[in-house]
Structure 1
Amino acid sequence: MRSIKPTHLRRRAFPRYLSTTTSAQPHIVPITSLLIANRGEIALRIHKTAERLGIKTTTLYTDPDASSQHASCSPHSVGLGAADGYLDGERIVKLAKQHGIQALHPGYGFLSENSAFAKRCEQEGVVFIGPPAQAMADMGDKARSKEIMTEAGVPCVPGYHGGEQGEAELLEHAKLIQFPVLLKSVRGGGGKGMRIVMEEGEFLQQLKSARAEARASFGEGGEVMLVEKYIVRPRHVEVQVFADKHGNCVALGERDCSVQRRHQKILEESPAPDLDNVTRLELWEKARTAALAVGYVGAGTVEFIFDKDTGDFYFMEMNTRLQVEHPVSEMVTGTDLVEWQFRVAAGERLPLTQKEIIERIQERGAAIEARIYAENPERGFLPDSGKLVHLRTPRVSEDIRIDAGFVEGDTVTEAYDGMIAKLIVRGQDRETAIRRMELALRDYEVVGLSTNIEFLKRLCRSPAFIAGDVETGFIEKWKEELFDPVVVNPEVFVQAALGVFTSHITKDAEPHGESLGFGTNSSERRFLFKSLDVLDPKGGEEVEVSITQKGNNLFDARILRKDEKAQVFENLVSSSAFAAGKTGLTTFFPHTRIETTVIEDPNNDNKLTVFQTGAKTELSLISPAWYERALGLKELRASVAAPMPCKILKNEVKEGDRVTKGAPLVVIESMKMETVIRSPQDGVIKKLAHKEGDKCKAGTILVVFEEEEGAATAR
């Protein structure tokens, strides 16, 4: 298996990437009507370009998306019924024909890489905005694609891509390749159906898990597996390619997508850091070779794995669609790649030559994209869902872009991927882009569900990331730094107390704090807060705050933390504005003016979210009943609850079993991902609340432990 070693390459002129080999010139037919066969920010992003070009759009929606932004963005939208309606290719094609729609854009999910769907569009005379069906079939089958790449001289990762799919046969191939190995579906994508197997003893269990997830994600045939050598210190580097019907093919730069969780990308950037120009040009050339080898047309991404230990790079796969991270390439090339898709589909030539693309990349610096997900990084990146009770986003500009499918009041459903938005920023160099990204993330405010925003901020401040020392194992390598508990500043607790104090006076309702002689002339309130930082090994700090009102907008505050001397702030001048559970505060502390937003969750009146100095803090406002429990005066029966809406795939234990901390209890599925719920303690299983196949809401009790002395509540 051939690989390219950048240190052995001689520097040479840039390869001639632009060719015109087609003799028959395609007829140019402008696109005037478009069906967008996707959802969320994807549909909105495509609609935006289509509208600018004067193309009439029709969007599709399912029952969970009936009130979504994309369902109402176009003059005409059509309902598909159940949540899996976006996968009903035959019906979607019929709808396009029924409504006299000229072209169909599949977006970058669902049917976007389904060759049979592309072929049906061609058969029915509907222009498919994407590559030819045959190219899609060749590159969509990961085994077949590697055969084609090997023949074309594109280096591939050593592995087994054949038809022997028995468990014993695959295990033997894994032994020949040598552990660690990577299992992935021939139809894989987005990390679904992918497992790293470090040693022989765990191979069969991981194989079964990978196959089950792949079958759920990709349907019949998804369980067919590839076995490849697992690169221990890999980088994920991909090249955006574009080809037209005239034989022209260009590379629009590369993207580094190495910072990942669950084999899915979190941050993408272009150009890739710490990559010499010789290697960069070689990657572009191999990517273009891959596209030309299958007669590609349209937008595609050729993905490579780069071995940090050897400097070798290998072809992984080609995504035959426009990808989620395409805005990064748009930022560094000054292009609209959806517009390019329309023009190429209509028969036009590529708008730019390779030379012009290179000049733009040299001028426009660096760009980074952060995916804003509904998930909880502190709990193993468990996906979340729920209503966006409060949403504030950064200001957009020429260098700050947000692609989003949700606004405040919308519900992020568990039926689909939990990506809320994409934040893309550009700077004259990588360091500037990182600083701008971190500042933009500080302006985000989200309440109603968990997000990865605070984690993304920590990533942007990571010295290793700033230095460009990235690899796909980055998060695991630096997890101690990235998940270090945060000490909450005293000003946060003061502002939280002032927020509750003023909001409840505004609402003319009793506060949660203890009232000391509160009546017509009373002016003091006491509040007990508990930090909800799940990283805190002590289970959350408890802090008492006393607020005394001395005059109009004039307060004293006293903070008492465990094992610390009371801290007093005198003569705080604080003004506030309250509306619909949200309190905006401006408070003058000694030498500091602090602006804060305090959000009271209408679904849990004990929970507060505080946004202050670019950071988010979640607190519980402890009422007397909660205080007793916090002090251990009322022990709750130990139980484990569903962390998100889910389906029970398997109960790993039986009633009466004794388990140790960390033992698997239940396997659940949510957002097409499998998650193993593990025991938070040693104990005896008293009750399994649900059987396999049951669907559960978030917070539903799954497992109940016997009450034993010293047992802790696990909810």
Structure 2
Amino acid sequence: MITRLLVANRGEIARRVLRTCRELGIETVVVHSDADAEMPFVQEADAAVHLRGNSPAETYLRADLVLEAARRTGVDAIHPGYGFLSENADFARAVTEAGLTWVGPAPESIVSMGSKIESKKLMAAAGVPVLANLTVETATQDDLPLLVKASAGGGGRGMRIVRTLAELPGEIETARAEAESAFGDGTVFVEPYIAHSRHVEVQVVGDRFGEVVVLGERDCSIQRRHQKVVEEAPAPNIDAAVVAAMHEAARSAAKAIDYLGAGTVEFLYDPDRERFFFLEMNTRLQVEHPVTEAILDVDLVALQLSVAEGGAVPSAAEPAGHAIEVRLYAEDPAQDWQPQSGHLTSFGIPGATTFARSPRAGIRVDSGFAAGNDVSTHYDAMLAKVIAWAPTRTEAARMLAGALRRARLHGVVTNRDMLVAALTNEAFLAGEVSTDFFDRQPGVQAAGLAEPDVTTLFAAAVLRAEHVAAVRKVQQRIPTGWRNVVSQPQRTTFAVGEQEHVVEWLAGRNGPVPASADTDIEVLESSPYAAQLRAGGISTTFHGVVTDDHVHVDGPMGSLSLRVVPRFVDPADQVAEGSLLAPMPGSVVAVHAALGDTVAEGQPIVVMEAMKMQHTVSAPYAGTVTELPAHTGDQVEAGAVLAVVEPTESQSTSQGADA
């Protein structure tokens, strides 16, 4: 029996394992990096060990430090979670050699599935359908488009779509560099790319008696950057005979490697021909496992622990209802899904249960963050998984969209609006999901409140005025916005993106009132945290969070973050025209220009890496590089000047004419 377990992971992953351990009465130990010292998972464990790696990102990959922490804390088992060391066969061996229970498959199974190239050969021998492997020499025009993939990893890293043969060598090199950075292995391979395909995976659990139980399938087709953002179970709109064949292929795959514990066999499904192909086997628990737990009412972590203790797998339960999970990311979909970092001013979904045993009683949220935490650049940008279960797929989608609309998420840009748009999209509701969903439904990616309405802007001005009055040190009894000679109204200027909005107001008996008599808005009640307004005879309450430079508003039209435009700009904060700024904190991994170079519009200038992904900063127009402060290896903050491109004379003339 396992009595004290170390979780060799972080964030939401660690918290998920901790929840089951608490229910089973197992004591828990976690390890953490410098950057994670204040995160919730550290506070929730019975004991926490600070690991001092060379960097926060590398810390959780230090098997030697994890094993030393296990020795010091007297644990008898290690659960690797998913990611980091979870599929590291050497670590698994070291755990068992240390006399500890490894909550995972045998090292030999990890090795057999660790290389996508070798695993495809093994699966082909077991009779599981696979896609052909191609090379620069063997790929032909008829094979296009192609997909370059990292052999040792996943999550979209080291993956590139290639649409012309001329692009293939360069994309292979880019994928190799990204795979080397993310997984420490730059091996990549090439296979045909099925554009309008679906990503379907089958959950399996094997025991020490050679039995493998199949616990249904999940559809994980809606992806960006080849990373999943919406997952559901069961998979919609697939013929029952095809699903049964997938289940049997997954069982064959697991039996071929004597699989022990929870794992996932992933397939690429071609709906046009009703064919499927083996993609890979993840020898661990998956991020999207909660949807399987919801429809089968099982605890997959408890099953992992039971099998590790020598227990037998149970019979497959009958699925009930439908479950949908979305991944809430700190990212900006409108800016090519650019990851975001910063301080989480507020973070919560009213009515949701955190890490619920089953979400059938409502909405389940699995998150590694809480309000007040910082989203760093060291790790993946996922904030939370939000899961809904309902008797039908349509009901689950509606419930989940409603929960996301009510969520209070402030401090960093998120993909929340995009997720709501996806869940309410007609094609999605009809079960028309595919890996090219966002290409087919371009409006979903750009979803959001593009132009704030007058009432929301006025509510933001009220919230800011109340906040300023509450924190001021002098004249605290003077009413908000009071002037002894009213010569002109107060003006608050907000910016949403590049667009500025001016709100004019006067001091009223109950707080600010619109300066224009034509604006039918009345303040019924206000504070620094909420404002109840009546507009057009309809009363609405707006909740808000005010910081030094932003007002975050939650209202009936959703959430909106408004940047407060200062009345006066510090000259030190201004940058030269043509400055290329770092879109986020990160490291400079390549500089593709030199001082004085003439560059074309769209030419790559600097490549940055942040949150395990590479981002290219390109010239906005043709011109000359007049400043180049960025150097390979530099660590830069968001907004730092990487280069300055002075436009050519013809470009400058064109811009002047446009203006």
Provide TM-score, normalisation by structure 2: 0.92
What is the rounded CA distance, in whole Å, between the counterparts of 2:51 and 2:274 in structure 1? 48
Correspondence for 2:568: 625
Aligned pairs for 1:376-391 (under 5 A) are: 376-391=332-347
Selected match of 1:217 from 182, 189, 211: 182
What is the rounded CA distance, in whole Å, between the counterparts of 2:592 and 2:3 in structure 1? 55
> 1:366–1:428: 8 Å Cα contact kept in structure 2?
yes
Selected match of 2:5 from 9, 26, 34: 34
Correspondence for 1:185: 150
SS of the residue corresponding to residue 113 of structure 1 reads coil
The answer as to 2:162 corresponding to 1:197 is yes
Correspondence for 1:349: 312
- The superposition leaves residues 343-386 of structure 1 with CA deviations (integer Å, 9 ceiling, x where unpaired) of 01001112x312xx1x2x1xx31111111111111111111111
The answer as to 2:42 corresponding to 1:71 is yes
State the Cα distance separating 1:185 from its structure 2 match: 1.8
What is the rounded CA distance, in whole Å, between the counterparts of 1:645 and 1:704 in structure 2? 18
What is the rounded CA distance, in whole Å, between the counterparts of 2:621 and 2:463 in structure 1? 37
What is the rounded CA distance, in whole Å, between the counterparts of 2:605 and 2:183 in structure 1? 27
The answer as to 2:79 corresponding to 1:123 is no
Correspondence for 1:419: 382
With over 3 angstroms needed to count, the CA separation of the structure-2 counterparts of 1:143 and 1:585, relative to structure 1, is same
The answer as to 2:54 corresponding to 1:104 is no
The answer as to 2:501 corresponding to 1:543 is yes
Correspondence for 1:563: none
Correspondence for 2:209: 246
- The superposition leaves residues 244-282 of structure 1 with CA deviations (integer Å, 9 ceiling, x where unpaired) of 112221111111111111111111111112112111111
What is the rounded CA distance, in whole Å, between the counterparts of 2:197 and 2:386 in structure 1? 25
What is the rounded CA distance, in whole Å, between the counterparts of 1:526 and 1:435 in structure 2? 42
With over 3 angstroms needed to count, the CA separation of the structure-2 counterparts of 1:620 and 1:525, relative to structure 1, is farther
- The superposition leaves residues 203-242 of structure 1 with CA deviations (integer Å, 9 ceiling, x where unpaired) of 11111110011111111xx222221111121111111111
What is the rounded CA distance, in whole Å, between the counterparts of 2:105 and 2:32 in structure 1? 24
What is the rounded CA distance, in whole Å, between the counterparts of 2:196 and 2:62 in structure 1? 40
Selected match of 2:519 from 551, 568, 575: 568
- The superposition leaves residues 455-497 of structure 1 with CA deviations (integer Å, 9 ceiling, x where unpaired) of 2112122222122211111112222453157332221111112
Residue identity opposite 2:553 in structure 1: V
With over 3 angstroms needed to count, the CA separation of the structure-2 counterparts of 1:416 and 1:482, relative to structure 1, is closer
- The superposition leaves residues 429-456 of structure 1 with CA deviations (integer Å, 9 ceiling, x where unpaired) of 1100110111010121222222111221
Correspondence for 1:282: 245
State the Cα distance separating 1:159 from its structure 2 match: 1.8
State the Cα distance separating 1:644 from its structure 2 match: 0.9
Name structure 1 gaps, 5 residues minimum: 1-29, 161-169, 534-538, 560-565, 629-633
What is the rounded CA distance, in whole Å, between the counterparts of 1:135 and 1:44 in structure 2? 26
SS of the residue corresponding to residue 631 of structure 2 reads coil
Give the total of aligned pairs: 637
The answer as to 2:586 corresponding to 1:646 is yes
What is the rounded CA distance, in whole Å, between the counterparts of 2:480 and 2:207 in structure 1? 76
Correspondence for 2:490: 526
What is the rounded CA distance, in whole Å, between the counterparts of 1:528 and 1:330 in structure 2? 49
> 2:31–2:69: 8 Å Cα contact kept in structure 1?
no
Correspondence for 1:16: none
State the Cα distance separating 1:626 from its structure 2 match: 5.8
> 2:510–2:525: 8 Å Cα contact kept in structure 1?
no
State the Cα distance separating 1:179 from its structure 2 match: 2.0
Correspondence for 2:358: none
State the Cα distance separating 1:523 from its structure 2 match: 10
- The superposition leaves residues 518-577 of structure 1 with CA deviations (integer Å, 9 ceiling, x where unpaired) of 5247597432534424xxxxx42x333222344235x54257xxxxxx95115x132122
With over 3 angstroms needed to count, the CA separation of the structure-2 counterparts of 1:504 and 1:93, relative to structure 1, is closer
State the Cα distance separating 1:624 from its structure 2 match: 3.4
- The superposition leaves residues 139-170 of structure 1 with CA deviations (integer Å, 9 ceiling, x where unpaired) of 1121221111111111011224xxxxxxxxx3
What is the rounded CA distance, in whole Å, between the counterparts of 1:102 and 1:194 in structure 2? 38
State the Cα distance separating 1:78 from its structure 2 match: 0.8
Selected match of 1:557 from 496, 514, 530: 514
SS of the residue corresponding to residue 669 of structure 1 reads strand
Correspondence for 1:700: 640
What is the rounded CA distance, in whole Å, between the counterparts of 2:590 and 2:507 in structure 1? 56
What is the rounded CA distance, in whole Å, between the counterparts of 1:123 and 1:149 in structure 2? 29
Correspondence for 2:446: 483
Residue identity opposite 2:337 in structure 1: F
SS of the residue corresponding to residue 273 of structure 1 reads coil
Selected match of 2:415 from 440, 444, 452: 452
> 2:141–2:165: 8 Å Cα contact kept in structure 1?
no
SS of the residue corresponding to residue 395 of structure 2 reads helix
Residue identity opposite 1:32 in structure 2: T
Selected match of 2:555 from 612, 623, 635: 612
> 1:394–1:441: 8 Å Cα contact kept in structure 2?
no
State the Cα distance separating 1:176 from its structure 2 match: 8.3
The farther-off stretch of 239-248 and 617-626 is 617-626
What is the rounded CA distance, in whole Å, between the counterparts of 1:395 and 1:481 in structure 2? 26
> 1:259–1:473: 8 Å Cα contact kept in structure 2?
yes
With over 3 angstroms needed to count, the CA separation of the structure-2 counterparts of 1:502 and 1:203, relative to structure 1, is same
Selected match of 1:588 from 534, 559, 564: 534
The answer as to 2:434 corresponding to 1:471 is yes
> 2:422–2:444: 8 Å Cα contact kept in structure 1?
no
- The superposition leaves residues 80-135 of structure 1 with CA deviations (integer Å, 9 ceiling, x where unpaired) of 11321211113322332343211100000100011111111122221110011111
Correspondence for 1:43: 14
Selected match of 1:598 from 523, 537, 544: 544
Selected match of 1:173 from 132, 138, 142: 138
Name structure 2 gaps, 5 residues minimum: 354-360
> 1:523–1:548: 8 Å Cα contact kept in structure 2?
no
SS of the residue corresponding to residue 257 of structure 1 reads strand
What is the rounded CA distance, in whole Å, between the counterparts of 2:114 and 2:332 in structure 1? 31
The answer as to 2:642 corresponding to 1:671 is no
State the Cα distance separating 1:177 from its structure 2 match: 7.5
> 2:418–2:447: 8 Å Cα contact kept in structure 1?
no
With over 3 angstroms needed to count, the CA separation of the structure-2 counterparts of 1:680 and 1:530, relative to structure 1, is farther
What is the rounded CA distance, in whole Å, between the counterparts of 2:524 and 2:131 in structure 1? 62
State the Cα distance separating 1:627 from its structure 2 match: 13
What is the rounded CA distance, in whole Å, between the counterparts of 2:570 and 2:446 in structure 1? 28
SS of the residue corresponding to residue 395 of structure 1 reads coil
With over 3 angstroms needed to count, the CA separation of the structure-2 counterparts of 1:508 and 1:521, relative to structure 1, is farther
Correspondence for 1:10: none
Residue identity opposite 2:453 in structure 1: N
With over 3 angstroms needed to count, the CA separation of the structure-2 counterparts of 1:61 and 1:315, relative to structure 1, is same
What is the rounded CA distance, in whole Å, between the counterparts of 2:570 and 2:514 in structure 1? 21
The answer as to 2:52 corresponding to 1:81 is yes
Selected match of 1:657 from 558, 575, 597: 597
The farther-off stretch of 177-186 and 263-272 is 177-186
Residue identity opposite 2:606 in structure 1: V
SS of the residue corresponding to residue 240 of structure 1 reads strand
State the Cα distance separating 1:404 from its structure 2 match: 1.0
Correspondence for 1:57: 28
Correspondence for 1:26: none
